[in-house]
C-alpha cells in the first residue's frame, strides 16, 4: 500500500482528485483501491499490481506537485518574500513564469528549458521504492528542496521580466500622455523601414535628419528620465501626426510594436513594397 499524509485537508482532497482522474484514464487499475480520510490518501493494490500502482501513484503525485503545489508555493513566496500583495500582480508574474518553463519565451535565453516531469520522475521513483508511506511536508522539505531551488532561478527571471514589462507600459503611457492635446506639425507621416526608419510627408517629401532634430521637443528628452529613442520615437512624438503609416517587412520588430502601442488606431502597417513614393526613398 502507498500512503501519504498531509497537514492540510485541502491538499489531501486535491491529491485525491488528481489520483481519481489519473486512475480513471489508466488501463491498469484492476484490483487497485483508493482509500482516504481528512488528511490521508492511500492506494491499495493486489499482490501482482505493485508496478501498476507505483506508476499510477507516481504520475498522480507529479501532476499534484506541478499543477497545484508548485502554484501555491510560488503564490506564498511572492506574497511573503517578495511582497507582491496584489493578486493580479502575482498572477501576471506566474503567467510569465509558466511561459518560461514551457519554453514559450524564446526571447529569454538566460536559462535553458527544464523538464519538470523528468526531474520529479527521478525523485519519486527512488523515494517511493524506499518509503511507500510518508508525510508530504517532510518529503517536500527534504526531497523537493533541490527541485524548488532550481525553479527559483526561473521565478527570479519572471520577476525581472514583469518589472521590465511594467516599466515599458509606464513608458508607453507617458508618451501617450505627452501626445494628448499636442498640435500636429504634419497631419500624416509615412515611416519607411529602409536603413532605419525614414520620415516622409504627403507628396513624398522626405524629412531629413537635420530637420527632424530641430522638430524634437526638448521637454520630451529632458523632463523624462526614461530613455527615448531620438531617431524615430522622439521626432514622431514631437510631430504628433493624426495618422502614421508604417511600411515594413518586419512587423514584429520592437520599434513597430512600440509605435503601435503608442499611436494605437492612428497607426497602420503596410508591406514595404506598397509605399507609394518608392523612387524618393534613399537606397
C-alpha cell at 69: 503545489
DSSP 3-state percent helix, strand, coil across the chain (nearest 5):
55, 15, 30
Kindly state the cell numbers that stand for 217. Answer: 521637443
Mean pLDDT of the region 184-190: 96
pLDDT at 280 exceeding the cut of 70: no
* 3-class DSSP assignment, residue 269: strand
d(CA 136, CA 59): 15
171 Cβ neighbours under 8 A, 6+ residues apart:
226
CA 163 to CA 154: how far, in whole Å? Answer: 14
The sign of the CA dihedral 239, 243, 247, 253 is: positive
Average pLDDT, the chain: 90
Which pLDDT score is estimated for 91? 96
Q: What pLDDT, on a 0 to 100 scale, did the predictor assign at position 126?
A: 93
Position 159 pLDDT exceeds 90: yes
Is 157 a residue whose pLDDT tops 80? yes
What is the value of pTM for the model shown? 0.80
Given the DSSP bridges, would you call strands 33-36 and 40-44 parallel, antiparallel or unpaired?
antiparallel
Higher pLDDT, 100 or 281: 100
Instruction: Give the model's pLDDT for residue 146.
Output: 87
Q: Beta strand pairing status for 243-247 and 188-193? A: parallel
Residue 184 in contact with residue 239, Cβ under 8 Å? yes
Q: How far apart are CA 174 and CA 65, in angstroms?
A: 42
Q: Is the pLDDT of residue 63 over 80?
A: yes
In the three-class reduction of DSSP (H, G, I as helix; E, B as strand; rest coil), residue 196 is classed as: coil
pLDDT the model gives residue 250: 93
Number of other residues whose CB lies within 10 A of the CB of residue 222: 8
pLDDT, mean of residues 28-45 = 85
**Which three cell numbers, joined as nine digits, stand for 271?**
508591406
Q: Is the pLDDT of residue 188 over 70?
A: yes
pLDDT confidence of residue 276: 85
Read off the DSSP letter of residue 26: -
Cell 517587412 identifies what position? 249
Q: How far is CA 112 from CA 2, 89, 116, 155, 158, in A?
A: 34, 25, 12, 13, 14
Q: What is the pLDDT of residues 192-231, one digit of tens each?
A: 999 899 999 998 999 999 999 999 988 887 766 456 888 9
Give the pLDDT band (50/70/90) at residue 4: very high
* 75 and 38 Cβ atoms separated by less than 8 Å: no
pLDDT, position 241: 97
What pLDDT does residue 103 have?
A: 78
Question: pLDDT exceeding 70 applies to what percent of the chain?
Answer: 93
Closest CA relative to residue 144, chosen from 159, 114, 122: 122
Could you tell me which of 130, 85, 68 has the C-alpha nearest to residue 139?
130
Q: What is the mean pLDDT of residues 93-112?
A: 81
Q: Which has more pLDDT, 109 or 117?
A: 117
Q: 97-106, 197-206, 264-273: lowest mean pLDDT where?
A: 97-106
pLDDT at 282: 63
The predicted model gives 77-96 an average pLDDT of 95
Contacts of 174 (CB under 8 A, 6+ apart): 224, 226
- Position 223 scores a pLDDT of 66
Amino acid at each position: 500500500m502507498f500512503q501519504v499524509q498531509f497537514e492540510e485537508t485541502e491538499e489531501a482532497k486535491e491529491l485525491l482528485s488528481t489520483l481519481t482522474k489519473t486512475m480513471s484514464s489508466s488501463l491498469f487499475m484492476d484490483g487497485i483501491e483508493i482509500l482516504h480520510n481528512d488528511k490521508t490518501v492511500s492506494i491499495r493494490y493486489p499482490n501482482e499490481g505493485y508496478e501498476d500502482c507505483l506508476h499510477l501513484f507516481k504520475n498522480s503525485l507529479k501532476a499534484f506537485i506541478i499543477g497545484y503545489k508548485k502554484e501555491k508555493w510560488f503564490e506564498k513566496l511572492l506574497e511573503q518574500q517578495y511582497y507582491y500583495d496584489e493578486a493580479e500582480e502575482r498572477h501576471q508574474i506566474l503567467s510569465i513564469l509558466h511561459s518560461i518553463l514551457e519554453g514559450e519565451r524564446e526571447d529569454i535565453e538566460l536559462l535553458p528549458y527544464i523538464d519538470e516531469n523528468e526531474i520529479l520522475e527521478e525523485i519519486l521513483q527512488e523515494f517511493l521504492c524506499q518509503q511507500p508511506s510518508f508525510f508530504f511536508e517532510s518529503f517536500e522539505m527534504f526531497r523537493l528542496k533541490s527541485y524548488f531551488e532550481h525553479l527559483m532561478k526561473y521565478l527570479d527571471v519572471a520577476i525581472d521580466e514583469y518589472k521590465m514589462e511594467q516599466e515599458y507600459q509606464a513608458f508607453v503611457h507617458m508618451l501617450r500622455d505627452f501626445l494628448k492635446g499636442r498640435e500636429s506639425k504634419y497631419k500624416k507621416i509615412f515611416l519607411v523601414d529602409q536603413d532605419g526608419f525614414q520620415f516622409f510627408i504627403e507628396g513624398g517629401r522626405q524629412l531629413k535628419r537635420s530637420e527632424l532634430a530641430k522638430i524634437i521637443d526638448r521637454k520630451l528628452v529632458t523632463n523624462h528620465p526614461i530613455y527615448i529613442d531620438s531617431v524615430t520615437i522622439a521626432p514622431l512624438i514631437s510631430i504628433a501626426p493624426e495618422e502614421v503609416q508604417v511600411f515594413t517587412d518586419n512587423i514584429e520588430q520592437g520599434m513597430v510594436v512600440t509605435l503601435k502601442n503608442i499611436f494605437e488606431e492612428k497607426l497602420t502597417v503596410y508591406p514595404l513594397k506598397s509605399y507609394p513614393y518608392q523612387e524618393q526613398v534613399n537606397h
